[in-house]
Structure 1
């Protein structure tokens, strides 16, 4: 646990004995003080409203906002060393710089990617955010894709071989998790990797390990599309008893395959 008091490993002097008050110097105050960014009233209000607009808790009403939540949001904005902001309902709307220690039904989280100073221009690019709820598969998928995976992808202190192995396993996990998440709803949705989305295409094309990882994901896409195309063969004849059954089936097939076409004609082109 992090506390506000520092203990010295070396021998303590009489000054630091428990029975005497500790002497506070200017240097001590300078080290312990948290860096705070000053904003004008309009700037702070604009940034606060922007973050409030990203909170998507169910049945959230304007009357639910209270002073402590607004204060938590503004402290997250003003103090660059505040890395986490979580907003959730636990007998009332709560804003905290940590995740809750008790189970909650729904939570919106914000994570600062670096010690960035927020502005109206860079705020969307310097925070990771999302909403988690009691849907386990959806929650894990969102947390991994939007918060944890992007943090792993930008790590530079790992050896290349270690990072390549880890990223391969991470992409495999997210591919299967995404497939499981949507297959339970009768949909085929393909995992879209966020690794390298900020790289210039020339830099990305010369990174052989990165290209191999994308090629492996494309193979998974191909496998999913083939399974979707043979979906008709998975139905037996007796399931289509009437013309209405046949009609409903082809409406479902049209919608099903149109979604795959939309994905292949839009999102894939972003990373190629």
Structure 2
């Protein structure tokens, strides 16, 4: 089936590439609708589905084209950032082992952020050479992961917390043992403050001289244009299935996070999300 082939092809593609495929299909549907409409038997002629056979709204076509152009610009801005990351990868330092905290930080499981590269992507690193603080059992079970990274500000908070703590224990011996441990923690984290400051200074310097910050701001600016263009699409009326596909496509892109959350929900939001997805799929399939 043609539709099955399209879905299978699009599924494994990056979001921007998958959207480009859907845009092409929707654009082809629009072109067909515009070409066929003048042959209808009068302005009020009906198609077999019972809807007026008329060309798509020029305003919607124009708004959707602007949306597509902005989306292409966003894809190019993201690609430029990825090229920048590749160019500077050999100069980007990994965080010192002493600053590595919890594993699987890419899942957002920790208060402290995971280790990232020059453009903000999570760094998933090998654990085989992390022998100072990682046990052999951990390294075998977790050969690769992203660690959360201790920051200088977080280390200072820990130092201050230890300094404020009072000796604990029922006996004098226990209180002395706790005090020795407290002093050890203070020394360790004061050392980590220095390590973290050095790491943060070097990564900040590389982000500045590489142009990574400018690239990030460009992505943010173009992303804003995509959202604005998508809103323009949503404000236009649609007269064809392809037009509905344009509106659904724009909404799917701008509300992608909400769509993923609600798509399997049994609430009205879930029903709306599934309807939008169906409209986009039908509009795309109409061109095949």
Return the TM-score normalized by structure 2.
0.22
Which has the larger helix fraction?
A: 2
Higher relative contact order (CA 8 A, sep 6+): 2
Which has the larger strand fraction?
A: 1
